Amino acid sequence: MSTPDETTSPATSPVKLGILTSGGDAQGMNAAVRAVVRTAIRLGAQPYAIYEGYQGMIDGGDGIKKFDWDSVGSIMHRGGTLIGTFRSKEFRERAGRLKAAANLIEHGIDHLVVIGGDGSLSGLDLFRQEWASLLEELASDGRITREQAAAHPTLMIAGLVGSIDNDLVGTDMTIGADTALHRIVDAIDDLASTAASHQRSFVVEVMGRHCGYLALMASVAGGCDYCLIPENPPADGWEEKMCAELKRGRDAGRRDSIVIVAEGAQDRAGNPISSEYVRSTLEERLGEDARVTILGHVQRGGTPSAYDRWASTWLGHEAAKEVLAATTNSPGMVMALRGNRVTGTDLMEAVQDTRKVPELIAAGDFDAAMALRGGSFTEMRQIFHELAEPGRVEPGSGAKRVAIVHAGGLAPGMNTAARAAVRLGIARGHTMLGVRNGFVGMRDGQIEEMTWDDVEGWTGEGGAELGTRRTIPSVEHLYPISRSLEEHGVDALMVIGGWNAYQAAYLLHSEKDRYPAFNIPIVCVPATIDNNVPGSELAIGTDTALNVVVEAIDRIKMSGSATKRAFVVETMGRYCGYLALMSGMAAGAERVYLHETGISLGDLYRDMEWLRESYENGRRLFLAIRNERASEHYDTEFLAKLLEEEGKEEFDVRSTILGHIQQGGAPTPFDRLLATRLTSNALELFREGWADTTGRSNKSWYIGLQEGRVAKEPLAHMMEHVDPTFRRPLDQWWMELQEVFADVSYEPSTPLHDSL
């Protein structure tokens, strides 16, 4: 047994907070643990790690360890959970929970943060409810004193959802789901190339016993042909329909067919649909080779994605704040991401809603099961049907000609957006036109009709097959552009791109009275790695760039692990600090320098003072991320030289400008899904524009994600929402995350920047 802490009186000792991970492991748990530990220290509490889930609490001894700031250093890039997880049978029994309570009291711990699935969280709630009676029993038996019991009348709890299935009702994303999706989509991309070479069908089984999130999102992001999920079983005779759809896809130009099966897939009568059954059905009915790949535990493996690191850091930070602010009357809360914000939800309500889904599926109430999964899940199911439906829908009487153009810098996911726009547009009865080489190509008449199979294989391709240019049309180009639009009978324009794309669209829209060809619905879809366009919290391509940056920083940090070293890494983003701050948060940097907050001499002086002291006290690695435009004169080279001068013999300095690798690479699942969802919504908006025949109102918009929803803003008012000098939105939601970054990155003794 470990020695009990001498004092447990809250008046004389800091609040003690335990943190544990329980149930299935999930990528991002380490980032959450790190954030809970460091935020607790920042707020004056003493954190304790509880090893192997609830079992560590029951066993006591080395299962419960005091953690300090450095205990959680350099753990974010590691998969799984560093403090271990376990499915503890003993904790399900009151006797086990009694032992657990005794061990917590021994350490004076009465605040608990648990990261786990719905099982772990309901166990936590039960423990909280029983706490007073457990302590009463322990005191009666003389295992703790009456004073100890009186000093800890309540167990304060906060839960975080760690589950790769993304199955907790009421949250957008659970910890680990994004990384699992990365693993699955990577595997689908790999399989697609071999399947295409042999003209073969693949059946891929993914995790999800009661939740089809991974299967459905992987099907959309991977450009698959058919998908079977538990919440929405296929109608009787689905085998025939599936084979017919796959055959039509082949006839329309596909070289491979991929069917995704969630492990809990079933038919309407509740009979399981196995991946092997799907395979044999395909082989028998289509008469060609079909193979099964069961992804299994690969989905839990590897390095956590950038999202699972920054989102889990934010969640952990808020969980620590929540539990430390809790009072004896507070209900148990689970901290979850809703609409891209962390919010607290009643823990047991969330668990009960989650448990309703399998019950509804078992009762055959599939509509209600789908409804609990939320609006965007149902929307994606519909979009997937349209995307996978091959071939040409003959244009009806209301058929329109819709042109797609890219403009601005290259962003991964532009191809995904163009593919989705073409296929969804065709499915909705339009003629889709592709403009090559941005507005320059539009001026030169490089516009041609695009067919369903023209965009085959574009889902996972980086780059932009249609080409993109940064050029914003000049006044003399407006006439040839208008002629070109007229000649091709363009009824609507989808502009997919970044800052310059938005400026160009704005210009055309402003000139609609002079050039009737511009008096058509125009919708801007955000696609830029800089994440600096208005109306969308995230642009297509930003998540991919962030993952590239974080992966590069992981390698850079590793290269410095053998010596004492300081790194300065420069990211893109122009005047927008999103990539710098978020990569700093996801890769565990000590400092970020942004244009929004600037770099002052005072900041640098304090940073150098701190750094020198920190290296003297044993620091081995320092990482600063600098946005490319953070300061005109204090550039990356200057920062590196400053560090070198100050570091002298104490440490080496290396600087890296990441450059254009940030624009390359296959789009991440998130970017593919965002591209698909936004283009689908853009197509729907055109209808609204066409319906308006007055010719006077604004029928052009820029769209994007705002608090988790697709929102639209009128293009005519765009300039009121941006800072034209520094080319970024006036309101940048992520700026509030600077506080989170500061709390988990600098030791409390660190002098903070003036701006923080």
Q: What is the dihedral of CA 141, 143, 147, 149, to 10 degrees?
A: -80
Between 209 and 385, whose beta carbon lies closer to ligand ADP?
209
The DSSP letter of residue 688 is H
Which of 91, 314, 499, 502 is in the footprint of ligand ADP by CB under 6 A? 91
Closest distance of CB 345 from ligand ADP, Å = 17
- Residues between 419 and 438 that touch ligand ADP (CB under 6 A): none
Q: Select the residue whose beta carbon is closest to ligand ADP and give its number.
A: 119
Q: Which stretch binds ligand ADP (CB under 6 A): 111-119, 277-285, 329-337, 354-362?
A: 111-119
Closest distance of CB 120 from ligand ADP, Å = 3
Binding mask 311-340 for ligand ADP (x = CB under 6 A): ------------------------------
Query: Taking the alpha carbons of 642, 644, 649, 651 in that order, is the dihedral positive or negative?
Result: positive
Residue of 110, 165, 256, 671 marked catalytic: 165
Structure token pair of residue 285? 């009915």
Residue 299 found at the interface with ligand ADP (CB under 6 A): no
Which residue has 């009960």 as its token pair?
352
Q: By rule CB under 6 A, what count of residues binds ligand ADP?
A: 16
Closest distance of CB 87 from ligand ADP, Å = 3
Q: Which stretch binds ligand ADP (CB under 6 A): 56-64, 86-94, 438-446, 513-521?
A: 86-94
Closest distance of CB 354 from ligand ADP, Å = 9
Length of the chain: 756
- The 3-class SS string of 355-422 reads HHHHHHHHCCCHHHHHHHHCHHHHHHHHHHHHHHCCCCCCCCCCCCEEEEEEECCCCCCHHHHHHHHH
Gap between the Cα atoms of 155 and 159, Å rounded: 13
Contacts of residue 543, defined as CB under 8 A and 6 or more positions apart, other chains included, come to 306, 307, 668, 670, 671, 674
Q: What angle do CA 458, 471, 439 make, to 5 degrees?
A: 60
Which of 116, 425, 498, 541 is in the footprint of ligand ADP by CB under 6 A? 116
- Residues between 39 and 68 that touch ligand ADP (CB under 6 A): 54
Q: What are phi and psi of 230, to 5 degrees?
A: -65, -35
Residue 118 found at the interface with ligand ADP (CB under 6 A): yes
- Residues between 120 and 139 that touch ligand ADP (CB under 6 A): 120, 122-123, 126
How far are the Cα atoms of 186, 213, 292, 493 from residue 191, in angstroms, in the given order?
A: 9, 20, 11, 35
Binding mask 13-42 for ligand ADP (x = CB under 6 A): ---------xxx------------------
Contacts of residue 495, defined as CB under 8 A and 6 or more positions apart, other chains included, come to 405, 407, 501, 502, 504, 505, 522, 523, 524, 525
Bridge partners (DSSP) listed for residue 449: 433
Would residue 68 show up in a list of annotated catalytic residues for this protein?
A: no
- Residues between 612 and 631 that touch ligand ADP (CB under 6 A): none
How far are the Cα atoms of 58, 140, 632 from residue 145, in angstroms, in the given order?
A: 19, 9, 64
Between 25 and 389, whose beta carbon lies closer to ligand ADP?
25
Closest distance of CB 436 from ligand ADP, Å = 50
**DSSP line for 91-107:** GGSHHHHHHHHHHHHHH
Between 49 and 478, whose beta carbon lies closer to ligand ADP?
49
The DSSP letter of residue 266 is B
Which of 4, 14, 73, 119 is in the footprint of ligand ADP by CB under 6 A? 119
Between 90 and 346, whose beta carbon lies closer to ligand ADP?
90
Contacts with ligand ADP by CB under 6 A lie at: 22-24, 54, 87-88, 91-92, 116-120, 122-123, 126
Q: Which residues are catalytic, by number?
A: 165
